[in-house]
A and B are shown apart, each in its own frame.
Chain A
Amino acid sequence: DTGVSQDPRHKITKRGQNVTFRCDPISEHNRLYWYRQTLGQGPEFLTYFQNEAQLEKSRLLSDRFSAERPKGSFSTLEIQRTEQGDSAMYLCASSIQALKGNTIYFGEGSWLTVV
C-alpha cells in the first residue's frame, strides 16, 4: 500500500493522558498536513510541514499539541494532558509542492476519544 497511512486508527484515552499519532506520507511527497475534524464539520487546519520544516501552525494548536517531522518523512502529532474537547478525528495528508496546486492524498484518519 503506497498511500498515506496513519496509526493508530482509533485511540481511547483517559483525560490527562498523553497520546501520539503517526502519519506516514507517500514517499516522494515533501508536504505533510495535519487537520482535525469533529462530527458535522469539515476538517480544520492544524499545521503543515515542507520536508522537515514546520511552516505554519494554526491558533487551534494549543501548547499541549506538538508536531514533528524529524527526517522529512513520517510525522508525529502529540497531544499532552488530553481533554475531552480533544476528541476528534486527526487527519493527515501529503502532497508534492507544485506551482499550480497539487493533488493531495489523505490518510484515513486517527479517531481520538477522550473519556
Chain B
Amino acid sequence: KNEVEQSPQNLTAQEGEFITINCSYSVGISALHWLQQHPGGGIVSLFMLSSGKKKHGRLIATINIQEKHSSLHITASHPRDSAVYICAAYGNKLVFGAGTILRVKS
C-alpha cells in the first residue's frame, strides 16, 4: 500500500461543476501539500496545510489530521483547471500521491 493514496485517478467534469479530489496518507506528517502539474512537467504549489482549511480563489483545501485525510475542492470548475493534481505528505521529505488527472470540458 502506498503511503499516500489519491482518488479518483481520473476525473472528467463539465464546466461549472464542483470537484473534489481526496487524499489519504499513512505516514506521520508535519504538513500536506496540494500541487498542480500541467503538461510539460511544471509543478506549482497550491496549498500547504497542517490543519483546518485554506481557500484561494475557487480552490479550497481541507485536512483532518486525526483521520489522515485531506480534500481539494474546486468550485465552478473551468477548462483551464484541467491538469494533474497531486497531494504530497511532508514528514522529513515529501511523499507524493500518484496524482489525479482532471479534465474539465466546456
Chain A positions within 8 Å of B, measured between CB atoms, are 33, 35, 37, 40-45, 48, 55-56, 89, 91, 93, 99-106, 108-109, 111
Contact = CB atoms under 8 A, between A and B. Distances in A.
Contacts, number: 65
Contact of A43 (B31, B42, B50, B96): B96
Contacts of A108: 40-42
Interface of B: 4, 6, 29-31, 33, 35, 40-45, 48, 50, 86, 88, 90, 92-99
Q: Tell me if B's interface is mostly helix, strand, loop or mixed.
A: strand
Given A56-B93, A100-B50, A104-B33, A41 B42 contact: no
Contacts of B99: 41-42
Given A42-B86, A106-B43, A108-B42, A101 B31 contact: yes
Contact of A48 (B45, B86, B93, B98): B93
14 contacts: A33-B94, A42-B6, A42-B97, A55-B92, A56-B92, A93-B43, A101-B29, A101-B50, A101-B90, A104-B45, A104-B90, A106-B43, A109-B41, A109-B43
Nearest to A108: B42
Contacts of A89: 41
B41 A104 contact: no
B93 A45 contact: yes
Contacts of B97: 42
Nearest 6 A/B pairs, CB to CB: A101-B31, A42-B96, A109-B41, A106-B43, A101-B30, A42-B98
Contact of A102 (B31, B96, B98): B31
Contacts of B6: 42
A24 B97 CA distance: 25
B80 to A, nearest CB: 19
Residue from B33, B90, B93 with most neighbouring chain A CB atoms (10 Å):
B93
A99 to B, nearest CB: 8
Nearest to B44: A106
